[in-house]
Amino acid sequence: MSQPVRVRFAPSPTGIPHIGNMRTALFNWLYARHTGGKFILRIEDTDQTRKVEGAEEKIYESLEWLGLEWDEGLDVGGEYGPYLQSERLELYKSAAEHLITQGHAYYCYCSPERLTQMRAEQSKRKEPPHYDRTCRELTPEQQAKKVAEGITPVVRFKIPLDGKTSFNDIVYGQVEFENVLLDDLVILKSDGFPTYHLANVVDDHMMQITHVIRADEWLSSTPKHMLLYDALKYNAPQYAHMPMTFGKDKAKLSKRHGATALLDYKSMGYLPEAMMNFLVLMGWSLDDKTEIFSKDDLIRHFSLERVSRTGAIFDMDKLNWFNGYYIRQLTVDGLIERITPILGKELPDEVKRPIDEDQLRRIVPLIHERLKLLNEITDLVSFFFVEDVQHNADELVGKKMTGELAVNALQSSSDKLSSLVEFDADSLENLLRPLADELGLKTGQLFGTLRVATTGKSVAPPLFQTMEVLGRDKCLKRIGSALDMLKGVG
């Protein structure tokens, strides 16, 4: 194409953006960046009855978290604004009036009650619901009578009564619909607001959108849009419809498959780069083996021709794998940057703020490989920061040990640790491994009891490195508390 690529993401502020919405946004953004085109953010707020307070802000937050910056939009401006549909009502009204004048649309005065009764009767006859075109051929006199009765009409578009409408979809190829199966759709409501069908056609034309990339649930609406383009004498954009998203059970993705709002994954501790890599592979692939893509890789390789028609599977296990992979790729400082805000909010009040970054630099290498989600961090490292930990007597007494053996093990360890010259991981290991033999214990028994005593956990980072970071005083104090507990139990 000689015309620069212009694509748009046009969400409705009727809820929090979900996984399917954001995959659509990602595909649009990638195509714009791949081609050197523009990515436009347009807010389609024509359904005022379903508008949710704060939803528009969540749209911005979702895009920003995923790293999808927009070139034109409500907050950044652009030469084709306004980018909020409720501020463009005169454009839609003018287009509807033009269609009426040209004989492509008509006023419909049918009441909601009549339409409900009509659909009920169609259902009884086992017919698909459709408007019966009662108002399509009203005479001027009949229309004047309706107006005199105080009825505020809607505007409906006249679908041709015969023939076919076809278009070429980049993903699905040539698509064709029988016009007789299409309904005379409402394009302007009685409150003066357009329906999606008219608004998106008018806006896409006026904003010079070259490619409409959207979910394939809109595929059946596209012939109506093509007919609108033709009636308005607009050039239609190219269409590319993305495959549906399903759960692993092949059912349409819903809340029963897990969280569906993108920002839920942010709060659960997923990385945006992991989510981007995961989302793009839900319907697109470079080949049959490459799975890891940086943002730059995706921009370089993305094409609509490689989008699959097959439904995409949302696999949480795969997402978790991606997240673990990307966490492991972070540098120590990079991970510290991600986890510090979480720790600042979640660590107990007794822990001094701001969080000690030097201490984090010693801790992070111990837990880096184990971290799968960022929000696991507090549970993994809180014992490093608090003064005291809670002990469980059953956990202090390891397998095939008695309380007496556990007390002896902790007391002997405390005595030796008190006199250790260098309190570092190597010195600790050289001291404690032989001690297990001296006590007639397996190393796993001694180390397990010490781990619980020093961290309060039966599962923790490597023992000797952990004890080094905790320091002699804190280790001895916690071992003493564990001894007091066991002696009290005994």
Architecture in CATH of 88-242: 3-Layer(aba) Sandwich (3.40)
For 290-430, strand residue ranges (E) read 312-313
Task: Please tell me the predicted confidence (pLDDT) of residue 332.
Answer: 97
Half-sphere exposure of 170 (CA within 13 A, CB side): 18
Task: Please tell me the predicted confidence (pLDDT) of residue 388.
Answer: 95
Cβ–Cβ under 8 Å, residues 14 and 47:
yes
Cβ neighbours of residue 375 closer than 8 Å, sequence gap 6 or more = 267, 268, 269, 342
DSSP designation for 179:
G
Task: Please tell me the predicted confidence (pLDDT) of residue 477.
Answer: 97
Task: Please tell me the predicted confidence (pLDDT) of residue 487.
Answer: 87
Element (H, E) at 106: strand 105-108
Cβ–Cβ under 8 Å, residues 287 and 297:
no
CATH of range 255-329; options 3.40.50.12500, 1.10.10.60, 1.10.1160.10, 3.40.50.2300: 1.10.1160.10
Task: Please tell me the predicted confidence (pLDDT) of residue 490.
Answer: 57
Pairwise CA distance, residues 437 & 86, whole Å: 78
Task: Please tell me the predicted confidence (pLDDT) of residue 257.
Answer: 63
Cβ–Cβ under 8 Å, residues 320 and 314:
no
Task: Please tell me the predicted confidence (pLDDT) of residue 249.
Answer: 77
- What are residue 275's phi and psi, to 5 degrees? -65, -40
Task: Please tell me the predicted confidence (pLDDT) of residue 235.
Answer: 96
Is the pTM here over 0.85, yes or no? yes
State the residue for tokens 């992991």.
274
- Angle at CA 184, nearest 5°, toward 181 and 188? 150
Residues forming the active site:
255
Distances (CA, A) of 328 to 332, 368, 370, 459: 9, 6, 9, 20
Task: Please tell me the predicted confidence (pLDDT) of residue 32.
Answer: 98
Task: Please tell me the predicted confidence (pLDDT) of residue 157.
Answer: 98
List the CATH code of the domain at 393-489.
1.10.10.350
Task: Please tell me the predicted confidence (pLDDT) of residue 259.
Answer: 60
Domain ranges of the chain: 88-242, 255-329, 332-383, 393-489
What are the residue ranges in the chain where pLDDT is below 50? none
